[in-house]
Amino acid sequence: MSLTELHLALLAGAPRHGYDIKQEHDAWFPDSRPLPFGQVYATLARLQRDGLAEVVETRVDGGPERTVYALTDAGDERLRAWLTEPAPPTGTGAEEIVRKTIAALHTGIDVQGHVARQRAVHLRRMRELGQVPPGASPAERLVREHLIAHLDADLRWLDLATDLLRSSPTPPERTHS
Amino acid sequence: MNPPTLTLSAVSHTYGRTQALRDATLSVAPGEVVAVTGPSGCGKSTLLLLAAGVLRAQSGRVTVAGTELSGVDDTARALVRRRSIGLVLQFGQLVPDLPVRDNVALPLLLEGHPAADARAAADGWLDRVGLAVGPDTLPSELSGGQAQLAAAARALVHGPALLLADEPTASLDTRSGRALLDLMLATTVAAGGAVLLVTHDNTVAARADREVRLRDGVIEHEVALS
């Protein structure tokens, strides 16, 4: 989990307080779960403890006190190091589709219905993601493209799985050791 | 509710001994976008050519904008094709001896529109699809992607009631393909036209209101996406 580095990236543009960081995160990743405030403050405290961020100002503008954090040199270095490492080429948490499809293929229970329903929910989601709100930033568009590309990959895999089933219509024999 | 723009009722088609399509029934309503998907050789393109009246249904009925294509002679069928259908095929299929601009103007020229008006309309559509050509540019001078853009302009120039497109973005890069699809769908749907897209590309299918899935010439499932 790269929450630490992500917070460093969110601080890289300018010093920010916790509320700003949360807002910026949620704008960067419109499809992710919104970042809870508690997590932001806990992460900022950790960054400060580890010397990756520092408090540069405490603002009281009539409202609640707001602590403004900035990246330290060490924080900047850590962020850059993180960005030089490619992300691991793993899946994206879509394992449920793999489990269900493999189970449907093995058991032969309503495979066609499974494929139809899975295609429908995937295509609907791709359709929603393709409807980019006016004024969306290029970065927001890119996040949507990434999600669409993954959904597309799932569907192509589903095609391959059902094709394989058709070429060997009897469910594979279980081998018992 | 308006009657469907396109209806196929129990349509079958064979090439020699190969059955390409069996008992296909589907309809597309005005303003609706339907994607026909499925693996290569599943009968998608045959279905589209039957809907376009290019192939004649060997059994079953095909009705476009109120005319049953199998019930009329070739001339009447050609007329429905010219007036009510815009057809985009995978490789453009432009008339080789006609300048690109006249290819695009063709549906209007055949309907007897004054040549100057038809060419002005063609220029407008060439501009909208983002294809810059001179008045004498021939199809042989275009790349595959450019020919596909020209074919799309030709399919849209007369505001057809039914737009039929077979892999309309296959020769284009992602961004150009998406821009062309946006234009084709927005223009046709806004004018109350119906769209049937044949594609194996899920990102294209995801633009439709409904997916019809074909396998081995048979409709396997049909699901609403909107």
What residues of B are in contact with residue A124 (Cβ under 8 Å)?
Answer: 206, 225-226
Beta carbon pairs, A and B, within 8 Å: 47
Asked, for residue A174, whether it belongs to a domain, the answer is no
- Do A7 and A72 share a domain, yes or no? yes
- pLDDT confidence of residue A94: 53
User: In terms of DSSP H, where are the helices of chain B?
Assistant: 44-51, 74-84, 100-110, 115-129, 144-156, 174-190, 202-205
- Do A61 and A21 share a domain, yes or no? yes
Q: How confident is the model at residue A83 (pLDDT cuts 50, 70, 90)?
A: confident
- Do A121 and A159 share a domain, yes or no? yes
Q: How many residues does chain A have?
A: 177
Kindly report, residue by residue over B186-221, the tens digit of the pLDDT.
999 999 999 999 999 999 999 999 999 999 999 999
Q: Burial level of B170, CB count in 10 A (0-12/13-18/19+)?
A: middle
CB atoms within 10 A of CB B24: 26
**d(C-alpha B63, C-alpha B29), whole Å:** 12
Asked, for residue A150, whether it belongs to a domain, the answer is yes
- pLDDT confidence of residue A173: 47
Which residues are B165's β-sheet partners? B88, B197
State whether residue A144 sits within 8 Å of chain B by CB.
Answer: no
CB atoms within 10 A of CB B107: 25
- pLDDT confidence of residue A98: 77
With a cut of 80, say whether residue B96 has pLDDT above it. yes
Kindly report, residue by residue over B17-57, the tens digit of the pLDDT.
999 999 999 999 999 999 999 988 899 999 999 999 999 98
State whether residue B186 sits within 8 Å of chain A by CB.
Answer: no
- Do A23 and A42 share a domain, yes or no? yes
Are B119 and B109 in contact by the 8 Å Cβ rule? The answer is: no
pLDDT > 70: percent of chain B: 100
- Do A70 and A115 share a domain, yes or no? no
**What CATH number corresponds to the domain at position A31?**
1.10.10.10
Asked, for residue A72, whether it belongs to a domain, the answer is yes
Q: Which domain holds residue A63?
A: 3-84
* Multiple choice CATH, B6-224, 3.40.50.300, 3.40.309.10, 3.40.50.800, 3.40.50.150: 3.40.50.300
Dihedral angle sign, alpha carbons of residues B32, B26, B70, B17:
positive
State whether residue B116 sits within 8 Å of chain A by CB.
Answer: no
Kindly report, residue by residue over B56-79, the tens digit of the pLDDT.
989 999 999 999 998 899 899 999
Kindly report, residue by residue over A39-63, the tens digit of the pLDDT.
999 999 999 999 999 999 887 777 7
Query: What ipTM goes with this model?
Result: 0.86
Asked, for residue A177, whether it belongs to a domain, the answer is no
Backbone angles phi, psi at A158, to 5 degrees: -60, -40
Name which of B40, B209, B222, B225 to mutate to probe chain A: the one with the most chain A Cβ atoms within 10 A of its Cβ: B225
**d(C-alpha A10, C-alpha A167), whole Å:** 50
Are A93 and A105 in contact by the 8 Å Cβ rule? The answer is: no
- Do A79 and A128 share a domain, yes or no? no
Asked, for residue A63, whether it belongs to a domain, the answer is yes
State whether residue A36 sits within 8 Å of chain B by CB.
Answer: no
**d(C-alpha A61, C-alpha B151), whole Å:** 62
Asked, for residue A35, whether it belongs to a domain, the answer is yes
**d(C-alpha A153, C-alpha A162), whole Å:** 14
Q: Do B202 and A152 touch (CB under 8 A)?
A: yes
User: How many Å lie between the alpha carbon of B226 and the closest alpha carbon of chain A?
Assistant: 7
